[in-house]
Structure 1
Amino acid sequence: MKKPFLMIAAVGLIFTTACSPAEKKTEESAKEQTEATEEVVEETEELTDSVHFGQMIDAEGALTIDEFASQMEGKDSMNVKIAAVATDVCQKKGCWMKVQLADGSEMRIRFKDYGFFVPKDISGKEVVFDGIAFNEEVPVEDLKHYAEDEGKSAEEIAAITEPEIKTSFVATGVLIK
């Protein structure tokens, strides 16, 4: 009768000893996971100040408007990432935005394949956009359409009678800070 009791006690002692380090490891592992989760949450909170539309981009390597102007000089088009302040946005859908160029003119940014839009209330906010800048002749019909999107009066729209040569941009991604 003593032997079965001793065997049961020995087996119980082995299980108790064997399980203790695992519990300790589990507690340590849980603590490490909690710390890692807290770090990710902190990093995510920093990133939530920015909102992406279209392709995911970051601000790294973005040119200022002045840098863009000097690099675009003498070219018909170029692939580029630019950081600027949005000056105007389509108030119907958010299907385009404008930024002011170094010479005081505005550049309209449209979104590739009409694939995404930006919020209509981002005027005055810093934006980063990536894509293709190019010089184009904007037809009268398009100029009138844009004027309508901007909420201009019928008289202002009727006064548009000539096409304009402008620097335009088709963005694949936009980051709003």
Structure 2
Amino acid sequence: KAFSGSKSSGATDGGTASRVFGTFLSWMQDKTAPVFVVATANDVSQLPPELLRKGRFDEIFFVDLPDVDERSAIWGIQVRKYGRDPEELNTESLVNGSDGFTGSEIEQAFVDALYTAFAGGREPTDEDVTQALASTVPLSRLMADQLDGLRQWAQGRTRPATTRSTTQPKRRLQY
């Protein structure tokens, strides 16, 4: 976000953003200290190309939507985060029902199920979570074209962040 608008004009900020960006690029290129720089971007297409030039970052990783194993781990983390036992829920069903969901969408579905259960004076059930998932339209569906474009951009330009081949275009999720 900090550098997506780095092509500022002198009319809006006196050229400050452009100068800071130039200084940062120079530092990245010329640094002599053993520094590991990490950056994230939701939309890499908005970043200036000079930031992505080889030599700026040692590696560019692509993080795709979580796969089955990753969703299983996310469900376990989120259920425990809210003081519940994952063994009390049918996590296999939840993992399958959350295909195409981001980690934050999985968390929010569980939070929604907690609210439903609280309103009923009980603990959350598989049904509560399943209903929360069903009422959620994940970003992978809302922004399917953008996600496909991002995956295509990543092909051959990035290294997968997980052991599976995340840069291969996936099938479009069917709902």
Calculate the TM-score normalised by the size of structure 2: 0.22
Q: Considering fraction of residues, name the structure with more helix.
A: 2
Whose relative contact order is higher, 1 or 2, with alpha carbons under 8 Å and at least 6 apart? 1
Please tell me whether Structure 1 or Structure 2 has the larger radius of gyration of its CA atoms: 1
